[in-house]
Amino acid sequence: MGKGRLPRLSSFFPVALLACACVCQYVKEGKTPIQSLPLAIHFLWSSNAQPQGPFALMHEYSNETFLNAQRQLDEVAELMNLDAGIHERLRYPRKALIVSVPIKLDNGHTRVFMGYRVQHDLTLGPSKGGIRFHHDVDLGEVAALAMWMTWKCALLNLPYGGAKGGVACFPEEMSITELERVARRYTTEILSMIGPEKDIPAPDMYTNEQIMAWIMDTYSNFIGYAVPGVVTGKPIAVGGSLGRSEATGRGVAFTIKKALEKIDLGTDTPTVAIQGFGNVGSISAKFLHQMGFKVVAITDVEGGIYNPKGIDVPALLAYVKERGSVKGFKNCEVLGASEIFGLEVDVLVPAAIANVITEKNADAVKCKILAEGANGPVTPEADKILNDKGIFVIPGILANAGGVVVSYFEWNQNIQRLFWDEAHIVEKLEYLMGKGFDEMYNIYASKNVDPRTAAMMLGVGRVAEAKKLRGLYP
């Protein structure tokens, strides 16, 4: 069917539904039905049931997190007057792979898990991004995380594009041998996509340095010699970097400290609440405590604790290492998982999963600074509410970028076979995080936009400029 002809009646109904959804979305965002209707009509007329421009949707990626990532890009593209062709290219991943990951369980049965690897963009260099093991992993989520990694790397001026990967499984229910089989088989299935000059994975949710060691070993066995640069976040003994395991949480703490240079909270001991106490949340708590912040509330998957006088963070870290949860820690009140968002604190750090602060609970948030330790914890609708309330949001593409910064250091050390001391790594990390914050804040202050938009304008702008210079092949 040629462009400019209406679709056949058999295909009209699903297209009309999509057009109605577009109208509803724009009405929800503040446009009138009259303003939205011509756009929907154009969509119906423009091609063979394939939405164009801001309505484009590849159903393979259709999930809430990916749509949120696209909407963030669309809003920034409009503000920047971004070239339409470059905008369209940036809305979708460059490459996506779905694989079966069959393994033999300890009980002798065979189980097949679904695995994913997505490369969003390769304009600035090889792609970079973590691998997560979690039952909610799907293609849309991985594609969204890969897109955010692209902006994150560009914002920090790292020579990478964004990638992400994962296996949909229940790692907390699996033995160490079953996890090893998943890691090695998944690596084998994505072997064609990864490599030190192509795509460099790293740890993410429910993966760690041991899993990175198995991935490095599997890849190296296929290549025929040790290739430590294929992954980052490895153990020190096989080419890992000092400071990598604490880099993301340390980076969160650095950006919060930097924000206090611009925002006067009226206290020398700001209060902090942290949602999520995995690697990012626990390390953030550790360094914020060392910097003189008062951590008063923490939640994890099993429960929450609250002490307005301040939690003994070093003792809590030892307790969690032994017990596996913050639940039941001494001298603390029990705190419900959702109650943490409504506490009157100076700083809130959501450091668990995406989409936890939505239009339903954003109005209850009472912090002055919100630092996104997790990827995408605030939905676009909630973002607008927080901005209207005057809450300064440090976006995840900056706040949690410490991990990829030190991964970049590790990758460089692997390529050069020259390793740095930890003091040098921490100094360089703080410098790059501070530089990124200052650049973001300058745009926030001069362009009269919110901090997330300012950070996105930097990241998207750098990728778009590189795409413009490189052109479109063929």
Q: How confident is the model at residue 33 (pLDDT cuts 50, 70, 90)?
A: low
Q: How confident is the model at residue 322 (pLDDT cuts 50, 70, 90)?
A: very high
Q: How confident is the model at residue 31 (pLDDT cuts 50, 70, 90)?
A: low
Q: Are strands 303-306 and 392-394 parallel, antiparallel or unpaired?
A: unpaired
> Of 25-34, 110-119, 197-206, 304-313, which range is least confident?
25-34
Which of 128, 152, 164, 368 is labelled catalytic? 164
- What is the pLDDT averaged over residues 410-422? 96
- What is the pLDDT averaged over residues 106-114? 98
pLDDT for residue 57: 52
Q: How confident is the model at residue 61 (pLDDT cuts 50, 70, 90)?
A: confident
> Of 19-23, 253-257, 278-282, 458-462, which range is least confident?
19-23
pLDDT for residue 11: 43
d(CA 423, CA 14): 58
In DSSP terms, 240 is beta-bridged to none
Alpha-carbon dihedral angle through residues 421, 288, 393, 156, given to the nearest 10 degrees: 0
95-226 and 247-400 share one fold: yes
Q: How confident is the model at residue 63 (pLDDT cuts 50, 70, 90)?
A: confident
pLDDT for residue 62: 79
- What is the pLDDT averaged over residues 23-48? 52
pLDDT for residue 25: 60
> Of 8-12, 75-79, 318-322, which range is least confident?
8-12
- 70-104 residue pLDDT tens: 999 999 999 999 999 999 999 999 999 999 999 99
d(CA 437, CA 247): 16
Residue ranges per structural domain of the chain: 1-57, 95-226, 247-400
Q: Which CATH class is domain 247-400?
A: alpha beta
Query: Does the structure show a pLDDT above 70 at 120?
Result: yes
> Of 42-46, 70-74, 229-233, 265-269, which range is least confident?
42-46
Burial class (CB in 10 A: 0-12, 13-18, 19+), 61: buried
- What is the pLDDT averaged over residues 238-248? 95
By the 8 A CB rule, do 23 and 36 touch?
yes
pLDDT for residue 109: 97
Query: Does the structure show a pLDDT above 80 at 49?
Result: no
Active site residue 164: yes
Q: Which CATH architecture has domain 95-226?
A: 3-Layer(aba) Sandwich (3.40)
Collect all residues with Cβ–Cβ distance below 8 Å to 390 and sequence separation of at least 6.
none
d(CA 298, CA 332): 10
pLDDT over 90 for what percent of the chain? 84
- What is the pLDDT averaged over residues 131-160? 96
- What is the pLDDT averaged over residues 389-395? 97
pLDDT for residue 21: 59
Return the number of other C-beta atoms located less than 10 Å from residue 178's C-beta: 18
- What is the pLDDT averaged over residues 413-427? 96
Structure tokens at 15: 């297209």
- What is the pLDDT averaged over residues 453-472? 97
Structure tokens at 458: 């930097």
pLDDT for residue 9: 42
Q: What is the chain's mean pLDDT, rounded?
A: 90
pLDDT for residue 64: 86
Burial class (CB in 10 A: 0-12, 13-18, 19+), 471: exposed
In DSSP terms, 164 is beta-bridged to 118
